[in-house]
Structure 1
Amino acid sequence: MTVDNGAHPPLRIAGRDVARSLTASIDDLASAVAARLADEMPIYRALPQREIEAIAFRCIELFTTLLAERRPARDSELAEPRNTAARRAEEGVPLEAVLHAYHIGVEMATASLSGGARPEDIDDVLVVNAMVLDFLRRLSIAVSSAYFDERQIMESQKNSGRRSLMSALVAGEDLDAVVTRTGLRLAPKYLVLSLAIGENDDERRLGVNGTVAARRKLRRLQGELDRITGEPALTVIDSSGGLALVPCPSSAPDWEQLRAVVDRLERALGAQLHAAGAVAQPADVPAAVEQTTDILALVTRSNRAPGLYRLVDVLLDYQLSRPSAAQRELAALLGPLGGKPELMQTLEAYIASGLNRRATAASLAVHANTVDYRMRRVLELTGLNPTDPADLPYIGAALVALRSVG
């Protein structure tokens, strides 16, 4: 639409100059718009009605000017709707409510102009309708852009505060200073989760953008973590895993429910998920992070099934994996198997199967006699008999120690 001041007579509908008619009714119309908004959208009842009336007045006033000059709105003339949209974003008013409010205002203004339109008014009615659509388009773009810009700023500030809080918790820094600076509050306790995530089908599929697939996976993960207690989780996570601190109430969590949550998480991600968890008060988070990191490394190195693990689930292995004078000596018991990966693989599979030679053979895709032969070779080389109950504790401890000293 082009500016053409003075080139056309005033737009008229039902014998009325539409711009003058709108100017004459602008006060009553602005009040009616504010009343309808409060009636139809409860969130607008909580906002100052005088402010809403003033915004409606200036919006209708701008449209009146555009009708009189038969031109589109300039960007500079939409500064106030943009500023208002930013305030609504800050107040938490949904964008759909903001846009709906402007549509109601323009709709009511347009209805007041078109009443009593006659067949001979068709040309001017079409021009007015075209100007209405153009005004709404420009207004919606300006309002949406300003709203999202403000939300992005707010989210960036919030995320920055969360990152600062998480860093302080993990590092054992002065938490009071961070809380004062960010305005965030400390939870009574945190569920500390160290996570290892496998690839899902989207990431493996040829022709799929791996970055997009990974981001989609992370959004699902963050959403599920936030739902554990209804509080946003503090996270440092990429597509392969990371660390999450989930705010908890003072009572102890139900670990069976948490196991179910981790199982649900795995299904939502479409990928294997190993998690190591512990609950700690804010001051004890650094120690809990160290512990869950060690537990996660232990369960992934030993090829345990996906799921949630606590210290109580891996007590013996955890203790044997701690550095000590005995650890290297235990690992050395299996030293003769170095350079013989087929023997080590078969021994681990045999222990994991509960000493079931047929299950071991099936997992390795070999004959059961091959398993027997390899177990005899283990005995010959190490002096430890995998079929002798007396030797099994030493073999199990040696496997854990060997994985730990790597």
Structure 2
Amino acid sequence: MGSSLEEPEQSFPAFVTACIPDMARQMVAAVLQAFPDYDQLPRTVVEQDLVRRAEENLRLFVRLVIEGREPRPEDLDDMIAVAVRRAREGIPLDAALAVYHRGALEAWDFLSRAADTPQRQAELLAAVPQLLRYLGVVIPGVAGTYLRERQDLHWEQREAKRTLAQALLQGKPAELLAERFGLTLGGYHVLALRTADTVESSEAGRPALRVIHGEIDVLSPHALTLLDRTGGWVLVPTTESQARLDSAVARIATAAGVRVIAGTATATVVSEIPARAEEAGEIARLARGLGRPTGVYRMADLALQYQFARPGPARAWLLDLLAPLIPHPHLMDALRAYLAHDHNRVAAAESLVVHRNTLNYRLNRIAALTGYDPGRSEHTPLFSAALTAYDLASADL
């Protein structure tokens, strides 16, 4: 009489190991469906590397279950290497981390369907704490490596842009340099960025330079910068609108908690950049020295001041026109009030808190000392220009 012996049920690790090939393929299929960024990777990576990595992770988990321990740093070497590659491939961090959760969920679903006995189901439930401990070590390790790599890449890209910006501003050949860094040259809005004072950090606690870089990155990922804490130079592609420049400077001022002045001029071709940079720098210097509020200033905003800030016979004559009035501040005040109120003597007198007759006397005195009458229409523009030249000279511009 024969007897049949039932084969003993295989161990839980052996059960999981036998499922690994099919489970890995299901995990990768779910990841590709849930995270389109991964589907943009080369087909060979999808078909070979992702499946192989999924199998390796599953085998590592089985080994840790057998040994009853959490992953050690050396256990994560392969996953760390993958994190570096994903960072360089441009896979977002949230997707790079979410695949571990999605993979674990797919593996759990697969094993739940395969666990066809009460004992197997109990073993699967008992493995949950081990799975959570596994994810609790793997995900922070991968995240830290990914972020460090992205920071290194970001630094490399920023230094490349800084080097290229410096070459363009100095008028040096930059085509080969741009090609080496994978950057495309074209027309640029040249911004001379100046803060009112040297600022170490923003009100929010972030270093001011990081605030500036962050806002420029938002403005255009293709902008080239040469910056320090007091400002510097920004080359923004002309594909960006002038209005966006204004908004970016306003945000920088708000985030850093300081007055920020930018002069700008547009270079339609690369060869114009040094000249436009000189123009933008002069505009920024004028606006800053004259106490203008935060904003982006263009030649149209300061054309008169730009011209009068330059030495020449016209500037010298205008300064000489006001020279007799300088020892008499009350006469200078009267002239300013008269011009500021569009030649309205009543309004000008009220602003000075004097009688209209007093204002008239002072205006007559100005005419006597200078030989030019501010009340005459042909002389009024001369006094306006002279005051502009005087203010520029007084501001040491």
Range class of TM-score, shorter chain: 0.7 to 0.9
Are 2:380 and 1:386 aligned? no
Deviation at 1:76, TM superposition (A): 0.8
Deviation at 1:74, TM superposition (A): 0.3
TM-score (norm 1): 0.77
Provide the secondary structure at the position in 2 that maps to 1:333: helix
Deviation at 1:403, TM superposition (A): 3.7
Counterpart amino acid of residue 136 in structure 1: L
Alignment equivalent of 1:24, drawn from 18, 21, 24: 18
Which residue number corresponds to residue 169 of structure 2? 170
Alpha-carbon spacing, 1:93–1:240, altered in 2? closer, same or farther (3 Å): same
Provide the secondary structure at the position in 2 that maps to 1:276: strand
Deviation at 1:120, TM superposition (A): 11
Where does 1:249-398 land on structure 2 (aligned, <5 Å)? Answer: 258=242, 260-265=243-248, 268=251, 269-270=253-254, 274-280=261-267, 281-302=269-290, 308-338=296-326, 344=332, 347-348=335-336, 350-357=338-345, 366-367=352-353, 369=355, 372=359, 375=363, 378-379=366-367, 381-398=369-386
Q: What's the CA shift string for 1:274-322, capped at 9, x where partnerless?
A: 5433211211111111112222333444556765543345444433332
Contact 2:250–2:295 (Cα < 8 Å) also in 1: no
Alpha-carbon spacing, 1:178–1:262, altered in 2? closer, same or farther (3 Å): closer
Alpha-carbon spacing, 1:359–1:150, altered in 2? closer, same or farther (3 Å): farther
**Aligned mates of 1:350, 1:217 — CA distance in 2:** 43
Which residue number corresponds to residue 11 of structure 1? none
Contact 1:218–1:238 (Cα < 8 Å) also in 2: no
Contact 2:219–2:245 (Cα < 8 Å) also in 1: no
Which residue number corresponds to residue 105 of structure 1? 103
Which residue number corresponds to residue 38 of structure 2? 44
**Aligned mates of 1:57, 1:170 — CA distance in 2:** 53
Which residue number corresponds to residue 91 of structure 1? 89
**Aligned mates of 2:347, 2:127 — CA distance in 1:** 81
Q: What's the CA shift string for 1:208-251, capped at 9, x where partnerless?
A: 8475384685366425532xxxx5222345676543211125xx
Which residue number corresponds to residue 12 of structure 1? none
Counterpart amino acid of residue 265 in structure 2: A
Are 2:73 and 1:75 aligned? yes
Where does 1:150-169 land on structure 2 (aligned, <5 Å)? Answer: 150-169=149-168
**Aligned mates of 2:337, 2:214 — CA distance in 1:** 34
Deviation at 1:29, TM superposition (A): 1.3
Deviation at 1:382, TM superposition (A): 4.1
Which residue number corresponds to residue 194 of structure 1? 192
Are 2:233 and 1:234 aligned? no
Deviation at 1:44, TM superposition (A): 2.3
Residue segments in structure 1 that go unaligned for 5+ positions in a row: 1-14
Q: What's the CA shift string for 1:157-193, capped at 9, x where partnerless?
A: 1101100111111111121342244332212x11112
TM-score (norm 2): 0.79
Counterpart amino acid of residue 318 in structure 2: L
Contact 1:95–1:147 (Cα < 8 Å) also in 2: yes
Identity of aligned residues (%): 31
**Aligned mates of 2:294, 2:376 — CA distance in 1:** 30
Alpha-carbon spacing, 1:138–1:306, altered in 2? closer, same or farther (3 Å): closer
**Aligned mates of 1:301, 1:359 — CA distance in 2:** 29
Question: 332-341 vs 44-53, which deviates more?
Answer: 332-341
Provide the secondary structure at the position in 2 that maps to 1:57: helix
Residue segments in structure 2 that go unaligned for 5+ positions in a row: 1-8
**Aligned mates of 1:159, 1:150 — CA distance in 2:** 14
Are 2:50 and 1:61 aligned? no
User: For this pair of structures, how many residues does the alignment match?
Assistant: 371
Counterpart amino acid of residue 152 in structure 1: Q
Deviation at 1:103, TM superposition (A): 1.7
RMSD between superposed Cα atoms in Å = 3.6
Provide the secondary structure at the position in 1 that maps to 2:206: helix
Counterpart amino acid of residue 367 in structure 1: V
Contact 2:32–2:39 (Cα < 8 Å) also in 1: yes
Q: What's the CA shift string for 1:55-85, capped at 9, x where partnerless?
A: 0011111001000001000011101111101
Question: 95-104 vs 339-348, which deviates more?
Answer: 339-348
Deviation at 1:125, TM superposition (A): 5.5
**Aligned mates of 1:117, 1:328 — CA distance in 2:** 101
Q: What's the CA shift string for 1:31-55, capped at 9, x where partnerless?
A: 2212222233223233322110110
